[in-house]
Structure 1
Amino acid sequence: MITLQNRCFDEIEIGDCARIQHTLSIRDIQLFATVAGDFNPTHLEAAFANQAGFSGATAPGMWLGAQISGILGSQLPGPGTVYVGQNLQFHSAAILGDTLDISVTVREKHPEEHIISFDCLCLNQHGQTIMSGVAKVVAPTKKITLARPDAGLVSVQTHNAFELLLERCNKLPPFSAAIAHPCDESSLKVAIAAKAQGMMQPILVGPRNKIITIAEQYNLDITGLRIEDVPHSHAAANRAVELVTSGEALILMKGSLHTDELMSAVVKSSLRTERRISHVFIMDVPTYHKTLLVTDAAINIYPDLQDKLDICQNAIDLAHTLGIPKPKVAVLSAVETINPKILSTLEAASLCKMSDRGQITGAILDGPLALDNAISYESARIKKIESSVAGDADILLVPDLEAGNILAKQLTFMSNADAAGIVLGARVPIILTSRADNERTKLASCAIACIMADARTK
């Protein structure tokens, strides 16, 4: 518990000083922008700030003013202080990463009204003056000591993992992608966006007239996009698979047809390998410290032990492709101990031993782990779980599709996560998107497929 104690007007002398030191972070700027509605790109985007002549993103002037208010309200004079006014001048910019020394010094006292004037000053780590000015307050006359009030827990949730994937694709050539039955606004938009990003050369596989009608209805420019004219969605699935098996396309993508319709065409083709086909959600969870892979939440309903071996290895191989050299795999169950009545705990233990024996390679496995143990160091510590995976998992291997689907959607709709998706275990990457996905996650799915296609060609 943090205690606040004020200093009354009569206790304060000319020259008394209070200060804070603070290193300016992007979270400071983002939080202020959210609260104040100040979305000036000079503060939020380094590239824009550089064009404006600064050497990085800058703090809003009123953020600095708010720090003065914080010192006056919490330290000197402290609780009971009433602001009268302030006059601040800004001499230079506070740049992201600067360590700032912000102080208030008593300048004048006016006993008749209990008003105190403070000199305000902000210096950076080089001693350069960033801000100066004067603030006036009515100082308290009664002593106050109290526990610091709870202002609520505030966090800034940002997404940047997918932007990094898109940046990787900037260095790659565009890959041809067969899109099966892109006969709705969502499917056509992502095809156009992926082409505009330079990631893909889409091949639209479906009824030509229907595709053109949808494009005209939603004012979408499909000029220059190749259309493979087929009569219906079933034919579109088969023809898209043919384009991939022949090598005309290196990526397969689902349009506005059912997943099982596309996957049925895949399973019947030479795209199958000795591996079990599985799905991975690549999740950018703002409340977790790194990208999280969840598998399988879309294809295998009740996978057995052999299925889970393939599902696990597929996810590990994807993690390697994405730049995670030794991913940590948490094999999930409802509990973290082996219980013969809970099959998933027995399979988790078996998978870990299979990893020890080299049947699963390229990762560190631990399980069974409950979800809290897998993603929370504190939970693992309390339960005395000694594990390098606990609290730091890269991959969550779920017991079955129901558990995985509920987990992925809970993270998306209750934890504000972004979820890209990819199908693994076939000879080419397969993109499954949902109409509920935003454009950012759809493009991220395309980016992952391109990165995989590039790795396969090499």
Structure 2
Amino acid sequence: MNAPALIENRTFDEIKVGETASLTRTLTPDDIQLFAAVSGDVNPAHLDPAYAETDMFHRVIAHGMWGGGLISAILGTELPGPGAIYLGQSLRFTRPVGLGDTITASVTVIEKRAEHHIVVLDCTCVNQEGETVITGQAEVKAPTEKISRPRVALPEVRIVRHDRFGKLADLAKAGDPLPTAVVHPCSADAIAAAVDAAGAGLIVPILTGPEAKIRSAAVAAEVDISAFRIVDTPHSHAAAAEAVALVRLGEAKLLMKGSLHTDELMAAIVSSANGLRTERRISHAYVVDVPGYPRPLIITDAAINIEPTLEDKADILRNAIDLAHVIGIERPKVAILAAVETVNPKMRTTLEAAALCKMADRGQIEGATIDGPLAFDNAISEAAAKDKGIISPVAGVADILMVPNLEAGNMVAKQLTFLAGADAAGVVLGARVPIVLTSRADSVRTRLASCGVAVLLARAATKAAPGVAQAA
């Protein structure tokens, strides 16, 4: 094992006039985000590149402060180093520092004062073009005792962003809000979700359920529902039936689950007499925004089909592929998950994965590149796939994860949500209209994303997108 690098100071007596030290770093978006997180400075001039381009003064200050931090790092770790006491600094930001600029910060000793062991240093920062971006001076009290110790390893810092959901919501807001039957919104969480989606310009809620309970929930949530239509029903069963009827009459273009159980809502949807079935198997999909994964993930099915057959899985795949197309993935890469990446006659899921791949080869499942069986790690990690020697156009770069059954899908989605900090927007596919499933644990961002995805699907259906929603 290599010995840890040492950090060693320069004492007052060791320091010579003219002595210099430097540090080079490249400014990244993460640097600016971390600066904002530590300082609390969320000025859009610092964080929004488009805004910063129009406000050069603030751009100089914001990014210049990062350059000033480089100077501070040199003084604290190199010259004089550990034991130095920062007394003062004056800096002038002469040019803007842009994202991607490589800055070399340098300090040079110009004066020593024996009394109190004061050292004065010239400070400069120069960009990759040789242009000076910061000038100034720093005054420190230099240490008198030698310090040499292992350099402390910095903790791993991860910037968690959920930009993809914001982009989906923006796409959904581009058109008119859609009339949406909100089924039994009789809890504060459920009614707040509907009001939030309406406020974001995504839906026009039609509240179906016991009117007294709906109004009581609105009071508890402290939201105004005076602008929304209420369809009074005696109980949740009737609310689900009424919401389905609104869709069949063309008055609602979406369904949104409120505070009733999912099974209760789905019973009304799959009713052979008055439901919303199509020729497709109804299935559920999560659109998941996982920090650190470079693309959105679709996980299916995690909520509807408990033990799907091979025929069911073919429809589940078709639904997920259509969803991927709607959110902008032209040819999604589908990984059919199993515990192993080889076909094992004793494991039904691996046999079905191979069969689904052959169905895709024969044109029975279209619009995607499909491979399986693949273990989870091989589906989302190129390094893991390489270690296993797997050669596949899907391995390591999957857009869609097809799980073996509901239990597996539910576990995968919740592990990503609660351990990896992912957001998961849920939607039910294959019915005459998309169905928004929300949970009490969902954040506002996730609820809006679920509505946004459903809105995009509904609009695609009106343009006769194949398989998104077909009339019964």
Alignment of 1:341-352 (within 5 A): 341-352=346-357
The count of corresponding residues between Structure 1 and Structure 2 is 456
Q: 2:425 aligns with which of 398, 405, 420?
A: 420
| Structure 2 residue 216 is the aligned partner of structure 1 residue 220 | no
1:371 pairs, out of 372, 376, 384, with: 376
1:202 corresponding residue in structure 2: 205
Question: Are positions 1:445 and 2:467 aligned together?
Answer: no
- From 69, 90, 93, the equivalent of 1:91 is 93
Work out whether 1:284 is the aligned partner of 2:289.
yes
- Matched with 1:258 is 261
**CA offsets 1:306-347 (integer angstroms, 9 cap, x no match):** 111111111111001100011111111112222222221221
How far is 1:187 from its partner?
1.8
On the 8 A contact 1:122/1:132 being kept in 2, the answer is no
Determine the structure 2 residue equivalent to 1:211: 214
Return the match for 1:71 from 74, 85, 99.
74
Q: Which residue of 1 aligns with 2:239?
A: 236
Judge which range, 1-10 or 363-372, deviates more: 1-10
* 1:202 partner amino acid: P
Summarize deviations over 1:403-454 as a string: whole Å, max 9, x none.
1111111111111111111001112111111111111100111111111111
**Aligned counterpart in structure 2 of residue 313 of structure 1, from 314, 318, 322:** 318
Residue pair 1:72, 1:81 contacting (<8 A) in 2 also: no
1:393 counterpart residue number: 398
Tell me the alpha carbon deviations over residues 19-75 of structure 1, each in whole angstroms, 9 at most, x when there is no partner: 333332221122233334444454334577578665869636654332123223444
> Is 1:132 paired with 2:108?
no
Q: Secondary structure at the match of 2:322?
A: helix
Of residues 407, 412, 415, the one that matches 2:412 is 407
- Equivalence for 2:364: 359
Query: What residue in structure 1 maps to residue 120 of structure 2?
Result: 117
- The answer on whether the counterparts of 1:57 and 1:96 sit within 8 Å (CA) in structure 2 is no
Cα offset for 1:96? 4.1
TM-score normalised by L of structure 1: 0.91
Counterpart contact for 1:45–1:57, Cα < 8 Å: no
Number of the residue aligned with 1:108? 111
What amino acid is aligned across from residue 136 of structure 1 in structure 2? Answer: V
1:208 is displaced (CA, Å) by 1.9
Higher mean C-alpha deviation, range 383-392 or range 57-66: 57-66
Deviations 1:221-244 (A, max 9, x none): 112211112211111101101111
Written as runs of structure 1 = structure 2, the 5 A alignment for 1:284-303 is 284-303=289-308
Q: Is the 8 A contact 1:19 1:102 kept in 2?
A: yes
Q: Is the 8 A contact 2:257 2:436 kept in 1?
A: yes
Whether the 8 Å contact between 1:86 and 1:136 is mirrored in structure 2 is yes
**Residues 219/5 of structure 1: CA separation in 2 closer, same or farther (3 Å cut):** closer
1:423 partner letter:
V
Contact 2:67 2:134 in 1 (8 A): no
Instruction: Tell me how far apart the structure 1 counterparts of residues 298 and 449 of structure 2 sit (CA, whole Å).
Output: 14
In structure 2, what is the Cα distance between the partners aligned to 1:135 and 1:221? Answer: 59
Identical-pair percentage: 52
The residue type paired with residue 86 of structure 2 is V
Q: RMSD of aligned C-alpha atoms?
A: 2.7
Aligned match of 2:439 in 434, 442, 454?
A: 434
TM superposition shift of 1:116 = 3.7
| Deviation digits for residues 118-165 of structure 1 (CA, Å, limit 9, x no counterpart) | 211224456253453324252676585x76432221211121111101
Contact 2:90 2:136 in 1 (8 A): yes
Q: Deviations over 1:155-200 (max 9, x none)?
A: 1112111110111123111111111111111221122222222211
**1:81 to partner: Cα distance:** 5.0
Distance 1:328 1:12, change over 3 A: farther
8 Å CA contact retained: 2:9, 2:77 = no
Counterpart contact for 2:178–2:203, Cα < 8 Å: yes
Cα offset, 1:105, TM superposition: 2.0
Give the letter aligned to residue 260 of structure 2: L
Instruction: Kindly indicate whether the alpha-carbon contact (under 8 Å) linking 2:83 and 2:147 is maintained by their aligned counterparts in 1.
Output: no
Give the 3 Å change call, closer, same or farther, for CA 8–218 of structure 1 in structure 2: closer
Instruction: Please say if residues 254 and 435 of structure 2, whose CA atoms lie closer than 8 Å, have aligned partners that are also in contact.
Output: yes
Note the C-alpha offset of 1:280.
0.6
Tell me the TM-score normalized by structure 2: 0.88
Deviations 1:268-322 (A, max 9, x none): 1352111111111111111312211111111111112111111111111100110
- Residue 222 of structure 1 aligns with an amino acid whose one-letter code is I
Find out whether 1:18 has 2:5 as its counterpart. no
How far off its partner does 1:215 sit?
A: 1.8
Residue type of the alignment partner of 1:89: L
In the alignment, which of 147, 153, 157 is matched to residue 156 of structure 2? Answer: 153
Q: Secondary structure at the match of 1:287?
A: coil
Specify the alignment match of 2:468 in structure 1: none
What's the counterpart of residue 466 of structure 2? none
Whole-Å Cα distance in 2 between the matches of residues 97 and 3 of structure 1?
28
- Maintained 8 Å contact 1:176/1:251: yes
Give, as a single letter, the amino acid of the residue that structure 1 aligns with 2:87. G
In structure 1, C-alpha distance between the alignment counterparts of 2:161 and 2:57, rounded to whole Å: 24
| Superposition deviation, residue 211 in structure 1 | 1.5
Q: Give yes or no for the alignment of 1:340 onto 2:340.
A: no
Distance, in Å, in 2 between the alignment partners of 1:246 and 1:61 is 61
Q: Secondary structure at the match of 1:253?
A: strand
8 Å contact kept, 1:276–1:310 = yes
